[in-house]
Amino acid sequence: MHNIQAESPVLLVKTHAFGDALLCTPAVRDLIGSREAEYWVLTGYAAAAVWERFPGIERVFVAPMPPPSGAGGFLSLVRWSAGNRKILKSVKESFVFQGSPAVRRWVRYLTGSPVRSSGGKPLGKWEKVFPMIETDYAGYSYSKTAGVTPENWRPVFPVEETERGWVENLRLSEPLFAIAPGGGKNPRDTVPEKRWFPGRFAVIADRLSTAGFSIVLIGGSDDLEAAEETKKLCTAAVLDMTGKTTWGQTAALLDRCCGFLGADSGTAHLATARGIPSVVLFGPSSHETLFAEGLVHPLQGAVDCSPCYSNSLFPGCIHERAICMDAIGTEEVWFALQKVINENYGS
């Protein structure tokens, strides 16, 4: 157990996307293990599920970050900040695992503490920065910010017993394979170009079914349309759990699966955290910056303009259609899935 120093906690900051928060977890795990302190987290709604179950975190502050669009959204953040600033002033040091100058200044305003961040240039004498190199795996930057060197880069997302029990009550047919037809949307960015095509997911689902697997579709409420179209195009029966589960329930469901297929998404990061053999499809984004080497089997769209971004905002596609995702064919995906399944479950 850590010696708790309630009068001077350490604040860890990661707002915005669920998947991005998971990328921080190896560095946070090692930081908590290396220093005796009380650890708090400041996060946004989308990433709160990562930190509310994280071992060693004493308190989680969930702010309206990023603020909803319009004046009302900004005012909600102002009100939240005013209501929480007094207690956050007790923070002795802040680790900001992102580069946004606005977020870094906001944390300094809330805490008045020294800041270590993944930003570019220091915003003042109060900040020490560890700039993110866009072509490197994002976790490396986060580990430098935390001052640790993880040996294990698998993200951390524990599953609770109540979530395991929920899955048991579903009485699922096994072996089970998970497919996530959606993705491409988070609080910072909306990138439908990251999605593969429902018709192609349906082809793979039918082949997996013929091979003896039961298929479950997973994802969030933003993925309902993609899942519904995929299901309609399947000849095999599939269990559609899209939009019906929490992140914890999705993780427990993944634990029952032999494998995962999906595009670059929060669900793909969750499958990685749970150690599920995964084939992940990449078009505009880069697997080298978002997934540690060896944790997934990546398929990158083989076109000259891919990848066109990594850890920055999506610049917009120069084509009428995401030709990078179009370049990933069903035969290529099926071959990769067979390889992954045989490596992990073959005799």
The pLDDT, as a whole number, for residue 311 is 65
User: pLDDT below 50 — which residues of the chain?
Assistant: 1-6
Res 5: pLDDT: 43
Q: Residues 6 or more apart from 64 whose CB is under 8 A from it?
A: 44, 45, 73, 76, 77, 80
Question: ∠ CA(295), CA(23), CA(33), 5° rounding?
Answer: 100
For position 1, what pLDDT does the model report? 40
Which DSSP letter does residue 58 get? E
Contacts of 185 (CB under 8 A, 6+ apart): 191, 192, 222
**Token couple for 260:** 């995962």
Q: Decide yes or no: CATH 2.30.290.10 for domain 10-146.
A: no
pLDDT score for 18: 95
Beta strand 176-180 with 214-217 is parallel
**Residue 163: its pLDDT value, please?**
98
> Quick one: pLDDT at residue 4?
41
- The pLDDT score that the predictor gives to residue 174 is 92
pLDDT in the model for residue 80:
97
Per-residue confidence (pLDDT) for residue 7, from 0 to 100: 56
What CATH class is the domain 168-345? alpha beta
Given this model, what pLDDT does residue 70 score?
Answer: 75
Element containing residue 81 per DSSP (H, E): helix 71-88
pLDDT at 6: 47
CA distances 197 to 237, 306, 322, Å, are 19, 17, 10
**CB count in 10 Å sphere of residue 335:** 13
Residue ranges, comma separated, of all CATH 3.40.50.2000 domains in the chain are 10-146, 168-345
